[in-house]
Structure 1
Amino acid sequence: ILTSLKAKKPDVVFFGGMDAVAGPMLRQMKQLGISAKFVGGDGICTGELPKLSAGTMADEQVVCAEAGGVEGESKKSLDDFKAKFKAKYKADVQIYAPYVYDAVNVMVDAMVKAGSAEPAKYLPVLAKTDGYKGVTGTISFDSKGDIKNGALTLFTYKSGSRQQIAVVR
């Protein structure tokens, strides 16, 4: 695939897979002289990608996105959550764990307010969640059930280290 792309001189290569394939692909891009940006989702947004690419990634060549994003005042509550988790379990928090933690607590809050764990009773309460203070920020849903003010975090790599570019809402 990359051999046929080389002749087209792409500015960007979008990759929808995982780091185990992205790393070797970046090595092949370098071998073929393709210097295009390499863009993908959370599957390539890992600490392993620089190792899997065997040092062939140029600084800021890779841009990846993860769902969610914490900034401002919410950063302290997330940092506290991570520190408590690390102290208790002797392991780092995995990527989406804080969001799952908040999701479960939002459901529990709706069940408590509804006085029931029966979906028919708590789901209407859950749908009206507005202003719930979670470790990832304030959680509210719109009329379609989507999270209000949702975020996406963009990262790049410099000197083999992942660095945040921005939180986009």
Structure 2
Amino acid sequence: MLLGDDEVRNSEGWFLVAADHPELGRLYWRYSDESSVNAPDYYGITDNARLASWVLPEWKTSDVFAEDYSDLSSSIARYFMRELFNSERFGSDYLESFDWDTERLHIELSGELAVLQRRSGQCNEDFVTWVKSATWFDTPVSAESTIQRLKNRATHRIFG
């Protein structure tokens, strides 16, 4: 079931996946299924709860399904970090390459990951390490996040 452009969504029973960064505050998982427009799905991190993806609390133990294009199904949520840092996924905000001359792994961030990394004051490697090792937890969707979850909100991504 996809929501209409101006439909307000009931947040009861839905959660956001969040972690608290020491400099940036609360960060959330952000996903968008772009298959309807023949584009790669979007995986990202945001500090804006209104842009965060919703998930049902049973996602870790059973199969739950998305109700809207930016919801997390259990299968998407379980593999979120792997896909977020998959440098071979088309459209990824994360790119890694190995420099054979220096024998070092080089990490390049773009999009929202780059914006958050710059604001954090951490180098790319430290920011990625923090995101991967952070304690991510489920937190209820607040009423503020439900004011108007517009169907086209994914088109308003912030790019650095």
Structure with bigger gyration radius: 1
Work out which structure has the larger RCO, using CA pairs closer than 8 Å and 6 or more positions apart in sequence: 2
Question: What's the TM-score bracket when you normalise by the shorter of the two chains?
Answer: under 0.3
Structure with more of its chain in helix, by fraction? 1
Taking structure 1 as the reference length, the TM-score comes to 0.27
